[in-house]
Amino acid sequence: MENNLHKTLNDVLAAFDAPAKRFDSHELVAALNDLPEEERAKPEAHHEWTAFMLQPNDSDSTFGGYFGPQVTFADANGNPLYMPALSDITPEAVLYWEQRYKTSANPLMRMRYAGLVWDFKRRIVNSNYDTDLYRTYVDSMLAVCNNDLASHPVVTTNILERLFDIAKKQDDDLAKAKDALRSFEQRHAVDHAVRYWACQFQLMTQNGKFFTQDEKDTLVRQHEDRMMRLATPDANGKIDVWTLNSQCELLAEYYNHNQQKEEIRRVLKVAEDAFMKSFDPNNPMQKLGILEQLHHKYVHFGLHDEAARLLKEIQAAGTAAVDALTPHQFEFQIPPEVYDQADAMFGAKAESDEKRWVNFVIYFIPRKDMEERSLAEAVKHYPFRYMVATNLMDYKGHTNSIIGSYEHDPEGNLVMHITEKMNLGTYFLGIAIHKMREQGLMITDRIMHDIVEPCPLFEAKSHPVIRQALDFLFNDESVIACHLLVPQIEVAIRNLVEMSGFSILKAQKQVEKGFQMITLDDLLRKEPVETAFTSDGAMYLRLVLTDQRSLNIRNNLCHGNLPPDSFNSGVAARLLHVLIMIGMVRFEETDK
């Protein structure tokens, strides 16, 4: 630390600006951060820090180009914040980088400065490039790649892709870029290093017009040879199936670009055969996952016969996977404070019966904004859980839904997060119902008198059925209660939409002049539902009744997706809540 007290910005830059110096941008940033405060306060030091903090190859194009922020986070209101910020990329910074690419000796530094000017000058400074920018940028990238100056070969592949994209329309530079790609593979590509040998092939697949037919044939031949090597068991009889799978996918994408369906079928069959030989017989869950991946591949490439062939095996594997699962139980004690809260909201301490009904409806409807913040906190504290996909299976082991990682499927993760909390909240829902029963509310006569009969959405001819369903529910015959309640709930939602002036019909696809009812899920997305129950209430109804990623009670019951004993007291309690929620709707008198 003592040595750094007398260092200057020029000292740091000189240490890195040697012609053959290899370094990572983080090393330069760290050296800048160690400078004395008066040196770090210089505008030039901040421009250097910004230059090497910016992340190249920004997949989301956050700042609208090739470079983006290295860190993204949110403020207290959920607004995105970036480091570096877009405001750090000032006209002064861009013009400073322009002078630096002209004077730097190190190819890595020239490449970074030139790349930043290429990305930002026209947008930030609103003026054209200097005539030497293209030449400097391309030559510096060539020097970095051909001399292995990048900190890791994977970084070099990223630079090679950028080089190809910039140089591909200039014949001489295109030839140099191809030579650099071939040279890189010769130096680094081994069969297990997918990224190294996939780079050139992917560029060829996506930019076919920039490759001659001989070049394409040579590359395809090399990758076909690698596929056969990878498909051959080693001395221990093992196959590196995941690397082989990557090779087969590369070839399949190339053949798909060229509409060669039989070639796609052939290479995917190589991957399938390897996976079939590599299943762990003691791990049916692994087998199920691999079969589903193969099925998705066949569907993606339009090979529907092959996809259909796997369905029977997927069903069998799913059943075996469910049988192999070990159930987990846990016990917890409900603290006295919970009962005190229930008593205040639903029991003897509540203000009135009217307040008890309102509390009962509102309390159990999740608020989307709160749950989004709760999920964000969970992701922050348990990041690994949200980095992988989650398969949701039915009781026979069939995959119903797949929820992706939080990054790629935030909505699915929110649904799963709310559903988990609703499942845990079933205990408190039961306590609330018990407290209201003690007050004489949660009985059939009071529900019919206070809620069902005054509600215009429940038709008078349906009242006896609802009464009977409530009798079954309070006599612990939940299965029958659920089967009676679900159709009446659906009819009430349909009545709400129709009474609000919206159509509940749609034309049948296969009958020329016929009509059919809109599905319940579509009804729950109609404006009257959100108007009556708020957007949170509409979301809640979908999660409870029709969302396959959540409780999905209506569809599971009507389609026989679950055995009858699955419709237990917890499910019945949730339907009772929905019934009362709908029953709170009243007509509003207007001039119309």
In the chain, where the domains are located: 1-188, 336-583
The pLDDT assigned to 397 comes to 65
Residue closest to 416 by CA, chosen among 383, 391, 394? 391
Nearest-angstrom CA–CA distance, 350 and 385: 40
* Cα distance between residue 37 and residue 441, in whole Å: 70
Compute the Cα dihedral for 208, 213, 217, 218 and give only its sign.
negative
Residues 6+ apart with CB under 8 A from 113: 51, 97, 98, 100, 101, 104
> What pTM does this model have?
0.67
Nearest one of 313, 310, 346, 308 to 430, comparing CA atoms:
346
Query: Which tokens is 418 given?
Result: 């709310």
Provide CB contacts within 8 A for 279, sequence distance 6+.
Answer: 286, 287, 290
Contact by Cβ (8 Å): 523, 502: no
Q: Which residues pair with 354 in a beta bridge?
A: none
pLDDT at 516: 85
- Sequence-distant (6+) residues with CB within 8 A of 562 are 394, 395, 556
Place of tokens 């570096």: 84
- Please give the Cα distance from 388 to 408 (Å, whole number): 10
Residue 450's pLDDT is what?
95
The whole-angstrom separation of Cα 38 and Cα 40 is 6
Given this model, what pLDDT does residue 314 score?
A: 82
pLDDT for the residue 283:
80
Closest to 295 (Cα-Cα) out of 309, 281, 274: 309
State residue 470's pLDDT score: 97
HSE, CB side, 13 Å, CA atoms: give it for residue 428. 22
For 205-251, what is each residue's pLDDT tens digit?
Answer: 999 999 999 999 999 999 999 999 999 999 888 999 999 999 999 99
Quote the CA–CA distance of 59 and 61 in Å, as a whole number: 6
Q: What is the pLDDT of residue 329?
A: 66
- Which pLDDT does position 396 carry in this prediction? 64
481: part of which helix (H) or strand (E)? helix 478-499
Residue 73 three-state SS: strand
Amino acid at residue number 220: V
Cα angle: 288, vertex 293, 299; to 5 degrees: 125
Determine contact, residues 528/534, Cβ cutoff 8 Å: no
Nearest by Cα to 569 from 464, 431, 441 = 431
Token duo for residue 484:
């009676």
Partners of 420 in beta bridges: none
**Dist. CA 200–CA 182, nearest whole Å:** 8
Q: What pLDDT, on a 0 to 100 scale, did the predictor assign at position 592? A: 47
Kind and range of the H or E element at 225? helix 213-230
Token duo for residue 583: 């029953």
Cα angle vertex 460, ends 456, 465, to 5°? 115
pLDDT score at 588 = 73
Segments in the chain below pLDDT 50: 1-2, 592
CB 442 within 8 A of CB 433: yes
Q: How many CB atoms lie within 10 A of CB 365?
A: 18
Looking at the DSSP assignment, which residues form a beta bridge with residue 391? 402
